[in-house]
Structure 1
Amino acid sequence: MPPVSIDLPRYLDRIGWTGDLPRPTLPDLRTLVARHTAAIPFENINPLLGARVSLDVADIERKMVADGRGGYCFEQNRLFATALENIGFKLSTLIARVLWTKDEDAITTRSHMLLKVETSQGPHLVDVGFGGLTLTGALALVEDIEQATPHEPFRLVRRDDGDWRMQAQVQGEWKTLYRFDLQPQHPIDYEAPNHYAATFPLSHFTDTLIVARTLPGARLALRNGDYSIHRKGAESEKRLLGSVDAICRALVEDFGIRLPEGGALQRRLAEVIQPQQVGDSAN
C-alpha cells in the first residue's frame, strides 16, 4: 500500500530541516531523528485533560505540526514513521514492553511503539517517543555493541527468551528501557494500548504532567512541577516550579509547546501539582 501522505515540507519546517529534501539514507535518518526530538517535545497534555488521543495521521499532523504541540510515543512514532515513508524509507513498526525501573524479566503490557527502518547499511531502530530517555540517534540492529548517540550511549542485547532489550548508559550503568521482538505491527495494533495509556485510571499519563525535550548536549524533563536539566558530562540541575504560571511558562519558553486555549490545562495543573507548590509564584 502507498504511504499515507502528509504535508512533508511543513513537517520539515517544523523540525528545522533546511536545504534539499532529505533522502532515504542513514545520515539523513540520523539528522531527522535529532531534529525531530529537539523540535517536537514529548508531552501528555491530552490524557491529563481527559481529551482523546487520536492515532489518525491527519489528527496527529494537525496537533503536532500545525498546532505546535507534542505527544507521546504512539503519536510521535506514528508521525515520524509517516514522514519517513513519504521521504522514501522502508520501515516496519514494532511494539515493546516497558521495563524502566522494573525487573529485567518482567512481563508488562505491550505499551510502547518503536520503528525498524531499512537502510543500505542494514536495519536500524529509531524511537522518537520515550520521554526523558528518547533515543536521539539510529541504532544498527546488532547485539551487544555500544553505539554512540548525540546523548547517552545505547546498546541492544538479546536474552535467552529471544526478546531484544533496548538499553541506555545512565550514570555509568546500563539500564534497560524496554523489551521487544521484531514482529511487525499494524496501525490497529496500537489502538488498544493507546486507549489504555490515555484513559486507564492507573496510567500515570492521566494524573501526572510528563514533558521532555532534547537539546544539543542536554535533556529537559518536567514532571508536574519538578524540572530537571540533564547536561552531558555534568551534574543535573533540578528545581521546583512553584506555581501553575511557572509551569506553563516553562512549557512555552523551554519546551516550545503552544498551550491549549481556554484555561483547562491551568485548572488541571492546579489539581495535580503538590499543594505546597500552588501559589508560590516566585518560581
Structure 2
Amino acid sequence: MNLDEYFKLLGLTKPEQPDLAFLHQYVARHMALFTFNNLAVLLREPMPLDTPSLLEKVVRRGAGGYCFEHNKIACEALTHLGYSTRIVVGRVLNNYVRPVPRTHRITLVDIAAESYLVDVGFGPACPVAPIAVNAQAPQQAGQEYYQIKALANHEYDLVLEKADGPFILYRFDLGQYSDADCAVGHFYSHKHPDAVFVNNLVVSKKTAKETVALTNHRLTHRTQSQELTTTIDSGTALFKVLTQTFALNIEQEICQFLFERYIAPKLAGNESSAGVVSGR
C-alpha cells in the first residue's frame, strides 16, 4: 500500500492546492476509520515506524495504533500532498503539571500566516479537527472545544474545555524535532515498565458526533445527548467489544489473555481508569 491508495481508502481526492478545508476533511476521516489502540504494545509485537510498515499495519490491516504511528502517517501523507509540515514532540500532562518525558508526536501544518495543530493519535481526548495555534478563543472540534494557550517560556498547552473547567492535555514547543526524537519517545512508550501503554489496555474511535473508548475494564460511549459506561467482565465480553464495536481482527484466545493479564487484576483491585484520559 502507498499513500495514494491510503487517500483513496479515505475517500479523499488530492486538492489542487493545500488548503484548510481539505485538512479538516482529512483529520475527521482518518479518525473515523482507524482505531487508536495499544494492542501491539501489550502483545509485545514489533512496532517499526517506517512508513510502509505503518501503512501495512494501521491502514491495510486496519489494526490501528497509537500516536507515533497515526501521526507519522499523517505527517508523511500531508507532506506528500504539498503541505508545509513539521514534527512536534510534546509532554502529556492530563491536567497534572509535572516532569514527564516527551511521549506524544504531533504535526504542525503551516497554511498562509497560521500554524495548525494536527493530531490524529491522542485517543478519546483527541480533537477531530485542526486547531489554530494563534487563535485567542476556544475552537470547536466535534462535540468539544479546545484552545492552545501560549506560556511565558515559549511553550504551549493544548487545553480541552470541560464542564468543570479547562483541562491541560499536553504541552509542546516549536523546537526542531525529527524522527530520531520520535524514536526515543516511541521506545519509552512501548518498552519502559512504567509507561502507561505498557500497563493499560486502551482502544478508542472518534467522530464529530460520538466517541467510543475502552480503558481497561471501562467502555464508554459518549454522544452529545448522553454518556453510557459499561464494565468488561470477561474475555468473551472483550472479544465482542474489540471485534464488533471496534471492528478489529483479533482472536478470542488473545482477548482472553488480555483480559486475564491486564483487566482482571484491575477489576479485582477496583482500580479506577478515570485518570487515563488519552491512554497515556
TM-score, structure 2 normalization: 0.89
Indicate if the aligned counterparts of 2:220 and 2:229 stay in contact, CA closer than 8 A: yes
Residues 1:134 and 1:276: Cα distance change in structure 2 (over 3 Å): closer
The number of aligned residues is 267
Q: Are the aligned partners of 2:128 and 2:208 in contact in 1 as well (CA < 8 Å)?
A: no
* CA-CA distance at 1:276 after TM superposition: 9.0
Relative to 1, partners in 2 of residues 1:82 and 1:276: Cα closer, same or farther, differing over 3 Å?
closer
Moved over 6 A (4+): none
Match of 2:50 in 1: 56
Q: For residue 274 of structure 1, what is the aligned residue in structure 2?
A: 264
Alignment CA distance shift 1:265-1:246 (3 Å): closer
CA contact (8 A) 2:235 2:259 kept: yes
- Looking at structure 1, the residues matched to 46 and 266 of structure 2 have their Cα atoms a distance apart, in angstroms, of 30
For structure 1, which runs of at least 5 residues remain unmatched after alignment? Answer: 1-5, 279-283
1:93 to 87, 90, 103: 87
| 8 A Cα contact 1:95 1:185, kept in partner | yes
Q: 2: distance between equivalents of 1:159 and 1:27?
A: 29
SS of residue in 2 equivalent to 1:160: coil
- Change beyond 3 A, Cα 1:182–1:57: same
Q: Is the 8 A contact 1:226 1:238 kept in 2?
A: yes
Query: CA offset at residue 65 of structure 1?
Result: 1.0
The separation in 2 between residues aligned to 1:92 and 1:225, in whole angstroms, is 36
| 8 Å CA contact 1:53, 1:194 repeated in 2 | no
Quote the residue 2:4 is aligned against: 9
- Give the match for residue 277 of structure 2: none
Comparing 266-275 and 51-60, the one that deviates more? 266-275
The CA deviation at 1:172 is: 4.8
Contact 2:236 2:255 (8 Å CA) reproduced: no
2:229 counterpart of 1:238: yes
How far residue 188 of structure 1 moved from its aligned partner, in angstroms, is 1.0
- In structure 2, what is the equivalent of residue 224 of structure 1? 216
| Secondary structure of 1:189 counterpart | helix
Structure 2 matches for 1:167-178, cutoff 5 A?
167-178=159-170
Runs (5+) with no aligned partner, structure 2: 269-280
Task: Tell me how far apart the structure 2 counterparts of residues 159 and 8 of structure 1 sit (CA, whole Å).
Answer: 36
Q: Tell me if the contact between 2:2 and 2:52 (Cα under 8 Å) persists in the aligned partners.
A: no
TM-score (norm 1): 0.88
Q: CA deviation at 1:122?
A: 2.1
- Residue 177 of structure 2: aligned partner: 185
- The offset of 1:162, in angstroms, is 2.1
Post-superposition offset of 1:121: 5.3
Q: Is 1:75 matched with 2:69?
A: yes
Shift, 1:138, TM fit: 0.7
Contact 1:156–1:164 at 8 Å: present in 2 too? yes
1:90 corresponds to which letter in structure 2? S
Give 1:215 shift.
2.6
Identity of aligned residues (%): 26
Aligned to 2:274: none
Q: What is the one-letter code of the residue matched to 2:210?
A: A
Equivalent residue of 2:141, what SS? coil
1:281 paired residue number:
none
Task: Tell me, yes or no, if the aligned pair for 2:209 and 2:223 is still in contact at 8 Å.
Answer: yes
